[in-house]
Each structure stands twice: as C-alpha cells, then as structure tokens.
C-alpha cells in the first residue's frame, strides 16, 4: 500500500520538466516565489510600523493584539473571501498572504524594540547618538533575535497558506494536494504533502541558520564564556516580553527556538 502511495513522489517523470503537468521542482519554485513575494511585501509594511510603534510607544495596543487577531483569522476563509470579491488570480491571494504575514512580524518587532533595556538606550543617548542612531545601532540589533523569529514565523505561515491557496486555482505545491484530492489520486496528495513539509522544514532551518549569523554573538551568549560570564545571562531578557499578548507570541515554539534556546544551552552547560 505504501508503495502505491509513494509512487507519485518516487516517479522520476514527475521530477523532470517539459511535460504537460508542472514537475515537482517547478512547483517548488512557484511555491517559493509566492512565499518570497508575500514575505517581502509584508516585511516592507510591518517592519517600519513595528519599529515606529516600538520606538515611540504610540499605538502599542495594535501591535500587541495584531498577533492574536492574525492567528484567529481562518486562512482559507480569508483567501476565498478575497477571491470571491475580487475574482480569480494571484492578486487576491497575494493580498491574503500579506494580511496573514503582517501580524507575526509586527508584534515581534514591536516586542523586541520594547524589551530593549532602557539603560542601554540611555547610555546610547548619553554617548550623543541621535534618535535614528539609537534605533538602528542599539535598539534594532538588540531586538534582532525577536524580529527575525517573527520573520521565521511569517515564513512558515506563508508556506502553509500558499499550499491552501491552491484551492482557488493558483500554482505551487498545493496543486498536488488539491488536484490529488479531487482526482482521488492519493499518491499525488502524499507527494505534495511530503514535499511541502520538507520545504517548510528546510526553510525553517535555513532561517534559523541565517538568524544565528545576523544576530550579534554578544546577545546570544555564543561568545566564549570567560569574556561574557556576567553579561550574557542578561541578554535573553527580550524573551521576557512586557505584556501578556506579547508574551503569548514569544512562547510560540518556532518563535523562541533560537534566542532562548541558546540561552538554555548556556544555562545547561555552565
């Protein structure tokens, strides 16, 4: 039975381009393209907004509640609603994807900026930094673990939602799932599910790796311990977010993987 179910996935014909149907690599590329477009648009909107709200404290109510509101929106319903109103095509799907990707980025950006130790900001001001310098040279680097975990969260959300969006006719790996279901071709369904799951896991690991590269080692405690024995434990403080709604976000598993995990590793080994 499992042989039959894995048949589609293991059939070399489905991996080569040029056929009538899109090959699996082509579907992966289409899927990535949707995801990247939506992530970029969402980041362009949510990052500046989150920085502004976090830095000034104006409108923090929106930022705190965005994540919960976004999480409670049923993705399939939003996509179908936009398609029924606006007609078929990638436009309405892109809008839906962006709407779903904004909240995690916005909330974590806000939370990251808010959680920066006020003493660090005071010190930066005391050194004569202008407000924008304080923001980009002190607050953003310190908030980076949370900001990038918000981006990772959004990325996963987008990979998943692009799959569901195949229901309204766009391409990508969801095609295998949706077409397979309507054709009763479970081999195709399984192929789609396996590939999309693998894609999500690989993207998440890549994002985690990128996060390790861009986050200052002074924050994650990966600097040798004798240099930073006293300061390193203070750094994961951003994980203790100020308000409840924010705390809820930061405790999402994939959100907290890198930042707190590194501090855990530290605690375990010391």
> What residues from 198 to 237 belong to the interface with another protein (CB under 8 A)?
200-201, 203-204
CB of 236 to another protein, least distance (A): 11
Among 45, 80, 228, 237, binds another protein (CB under 8 A): 80
Among 85, 119, 132, 213, binds another protein (CB under 8 A): 85
**Complex with another protein: residue 62 or 194, whichever CB lies closer:** 194
Give yes or no for a contact between 239 and 266, defined as CB atoms under 8 angstroms apart.
no
> Can residue 32 be called a binding residue for another protein (CB under 8 A)?
no
∠ CA 150-217-221 to the nearest 5 degrees? 95
Print the binding letters for residues 129-168 with another protein: x by CB under 8 A, - otherwise: ---------------------------x--xx--xx--xx
Whose tokens are 């509640």? That residue is: 65
Among 66, 83, 98, 116, binds another protein (CB under 8 A): 83
> What residues from 166 to 205 belong to the interface with another protein (CB under 8 A)?
167-168, 174, 177-178, 181, 186, 189-190, 192-194, 196-197, 200-201, 203-204
> Can residue 257 be called a binding residue for another protein (CB under 8 A)?
yes
**What is the token pair recorded at 231?**
């300061």
**Complex with another protein: residue 14 or 250, whichever CB lies closer:** 250
> Can residue 109 be called a binding residue for another protein (CB under 8 A)?
no
CB of 164 to another protein, least distance (A): 6
CB of 140 to another protein, least distance (A): 25
> Can residue 245 be called a binding residue for another protein (CB under 8 A)?
yes
Give me the helix-helix angle, 75-86 and 90-114, nearest 10°.
Answer: 140
Segment interacting with another protein, rule: CB under 8 A, options 112-120, 121-129, 228-236, 239-247? 239-247
> Can residue 78 be called a binding residue for another protein (CB under 8 A)?
yes
3-state secondary structure the chain: CHHHHHHHHHCHHHHCCCCCCCCHHHHHHHHHHHHHHHHHHHHHHHHHHHHHHHHHCCCHHHHHHHHHHHHHCCHHHHHHHHHHHHCCCHHHHHHHHHHHHHHHHHHHHHHHHHCCCHHHHHHHHHCCCCHHHHHHHHHHHHHHHHHHHHHHHHHHHHHHHHHHHHHHCCCCCHHHHHHHHHCCCHHHHHHHHHHHHHHHHHHHHHHHHHHHHHCCHHHHCCCCHHHHCCCHHHCCHHHCCCCHHHHHHHCCHHHHCHHHHHHHHHHHHC
Residues that bind another protein in the complex, under the rule CB under 8 A: 2, 5, 68-69, 71-78, 80-81, 83-85, 156, 159-160, 163-164, 167-168, 174, 177-178, 181, 186, 189-190, 192-194, 196-197, 200-201, 203-204, 242-245, 247-249, 251-254, 256-257, 260-261, 264-265, 268
């Amino acid at each position: 039975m499992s042989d039959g179910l894995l048949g589609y996935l293991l059939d070399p014909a489905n991996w080569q381009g040029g056929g009538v149907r899109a090959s699996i690599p082509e579907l992966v590329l289409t899927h990535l393209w949707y995801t990247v477009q939506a992530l970029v648009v969402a980041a362009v909107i949510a990052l500046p907004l989150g920085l502004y709200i976090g830095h000034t404290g104006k409108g923090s109510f929106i930022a705190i509640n965005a994540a919960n509101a976004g999480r409670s929106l049923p993705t399939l319903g939003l996509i179908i609603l936009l398609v029924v109103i606006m007609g078929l095509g990638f436009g309405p799907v892109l809008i839906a994807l962006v709407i779903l990707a904004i909240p995690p980025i916005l909330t974590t950006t806000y939370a990251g900026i808010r959680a920066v130790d006020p003493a660090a900001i005071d010190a930066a001001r005391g050194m004569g930094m202008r407000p924008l310098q304080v923001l980009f040279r002190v607050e953003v680097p310190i908030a980076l673990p949370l900001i990038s975990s918000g981006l990772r969260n959004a990325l996963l959300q987008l990979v998943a939602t692009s799959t569901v969006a195949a229901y309204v006719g766009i391409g990508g790996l969801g095609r295998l799932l949706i077409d397979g279901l309507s054709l009763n071709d479970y081999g195709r369904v399984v192929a789609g599910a396996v590939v999309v799951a693998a894609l999500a896991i690989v993207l998440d690991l890549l994002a985690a790796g990128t996060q390790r590269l861009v986050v200052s080692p002074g924050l994650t405690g990966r600097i040798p311990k004798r240099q930073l024995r006293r300061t390193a434990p203070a750094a994961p403080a951003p994980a203790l977010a100020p308000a409840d709604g924010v705390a809820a976000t930061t405790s999402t598993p994939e959100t907290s993987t890198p930042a707190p995990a590194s501090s855990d590793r530290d605690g375990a080994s010391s």
